Structure 1
Amino acid sequence: MRHARPNSPNTQRSLFSSEGRIFEKNGQTPVTMADFGVQALVSLELSKLFPSSPLVAEEDSSFLRSNNLVDSVVSVVTNKASSNDKPLKHDDVPEAIDRGGNNAIVYGTKTATYWVLDPIDGTRGFVRGNEALYVVGLALVVEGEIALGVMGCPNWPEEVSNKSITEVCEYENLQSGSGILMVAHVGCGTWTKRLSNVLGRSAIVSDGWTKCIVDGCRIVPEARFCVPESQTCESLPLSALFNATNDADSIDEKEILLLSTCCRSLCKYLTVACGRASVFILRARTQRIIKVWDHAVGVICVHEAGGKVTDWKGNQLDFAADQVERRILFPSG
Structure 2
Amino acid sequence: MSSSSSPQYALERSVAISAVERACSLTDKVFRNLVTADTVTKKDKSPVTVGDYSAQAVVNAILGSHFDEDPIVGEEDSKDLQKPEAESLRKQIFALANEALKNPAQECPAVAEAESKANTQAWGERELTERELLAAIDRGTAEGGAKGRCWALDPIDGTKGFLRGGQYAVCLAFMVDGVVQVGVMGCPNLPHDASSAKPKEGEFGAGEKRSDLGTLFIAVRGQGAFQRPIQGGEEKRISMRQISSLSEASFCESVEAGHSSHGTNARIAELLGISAASVRMDSQAKYASISRGDGDVYLRLPVGDGSYQEKIWDHASGSLLVEEAGGKVSDIRGKDLNFGVGRTLRDNRGVVASQKEHHAKVIDAVRKALEEEGRGHL
Tell me the TM-score normalized by structure 2.
0.69
2:293 to 275, 286, 294: 275
Determine if contact 2:269/2:275 at 8 Å carries over to the other structure. Answer: no
Deviation at 1:169, TM superposition (A): 4.9
- The ranges of structure 1 where at least 4 consecutive aligned residues each deviate by more than 6 angstroms after the TM superposition are 3-10, 14-17
The reply on whether 1:300 has 2:330 as its aligned counterpart is: no
**Which letter maps to 2:277?**
L
Moved more, 302-311 or 218-227: 218-227
Corresponding letter in the other structure for 1:290: E
Equivalent pair of 1:309/1:317 in contact (CA under 8 Å): yes
Q: Structure 1 residues 316 and 237, CA, compared in 2 at 3 Å: closer, same or farther?
A: farther
Once the two structures are TM-superposed, the CA of residue 10 in structure 1 deviates from its matched residue by 7.8
Partner of 1:137: 171
Q: Which amino acid aligns with 2:239?
A: I
- Pick from 180, 185, 193 the counterpart of residue 228 of structure 2: 193
Q: 1:22 maps to what in 2?
A: 45
Contact kept, 8 Å, 2:175 with 2:182, in 1: the verdict is: yes
Contact 1:33–1:73 (8 Å) recurs in 2: yes
Structure 1 position 34, deviation (Å) = 1.3
Match of 1:234 in 2: 264
2:132 to 92, 98, 107: 92
Which of 225, 236, 244 does residue 251 from structure 2 map onto?
225
- Conserved? CA contact 1:292–1:319, under 8 Å: yes
Instruction: List per-residue Cα deviations over 1:31-77 (Å, max 9, x = no partner).
Output: 32011101001111111111111111111112323451333322222
State the distance in 1 between where 2:34 and 2:186 align: 26
Q: Where does the alignment leave 5 or more consecutive residues of structure 1 unmatched? A: 24-29, 196-203, 243-253
Describe how 1:6-85 pairs up with structure 2 within 5 A: 11-13=36-38, 22-23=45-46, 31-66=48-83, 67-68=85-86, 69-82=89-102, 84-85=124-125
One-letter amino acid of the structure 2 residue matched with residue 137 of structure 1:
C
TM-score by length of 1: 0.77
Deviation digits for residues 260-282 of structure 1, max 9, x if unmatched? Answer: 411x2010011111111110111
CA distance in 1, matches of 2:34, 2:53: 25
Q: Flag structure 2 segments of 5+ consecutive residues without an equivalent.
A: 1-25, 103-122, 351-378
Bigger shift: residues 42-51 or 170-179: 170-179
Residue matched to 2:219: 184
Q: Matches of 1:141 and 1:9 in 2, distance apart?
A: 34
State the AA in 2 paired with 1:87. E
Deviation, structure 1 residue 97: 0.3
Could you tell me how far 1:327 is from its partner in structure 2? 4.3
Cα distance change on mapping 1:189 and 1:61 into 2, 3 Å: same
Q: Indicate how the Cα distance of structure 1 residues 65 and 96 shifts in structure 2: closer, same or farther if over 3 A, else same.
A: same
Identity value in percent: 29
Provide the aligned length of Structure 1 versus Structure 2.
290
Distance 1:87 1:239 in 2: 52
What are the Cα deviations for residues 133-161 of structure 1, in whole angstroms up to 9, with x where unaligned? 11111100001110001111121224x42
How far apart in 2 are the matches of 1:37 and 1:239?
A: 40
Separation in structure 2 between the aligned mates of residue 194 and residue 257 of structure 1, nearest angstrom: 28
User: Residues 174 and 182 of structure 2 are in contact (CA less than 8 Å); yes or no, is this contact kept in structure 1?
Assistant: yes
> Post-superposition shift, 1:293?
0.6
Tell me which protein shows more helix as a share of its residues. 2
- CA RMSD of the aligned region, Å? 3.1
The whole-number CA distance in structure 2 between the counterparts of 1:275 and 1:260 is 11
- Partner-residue secondary structure (3-state), 1:170: coil
Change over 3 Å in CA distance of 1:255–1:73 after alignment to 2: closer
In structure 2, the CA distance between the partners of 1:258 and 1:51, relative to structure 1 (3 Å rule), is same
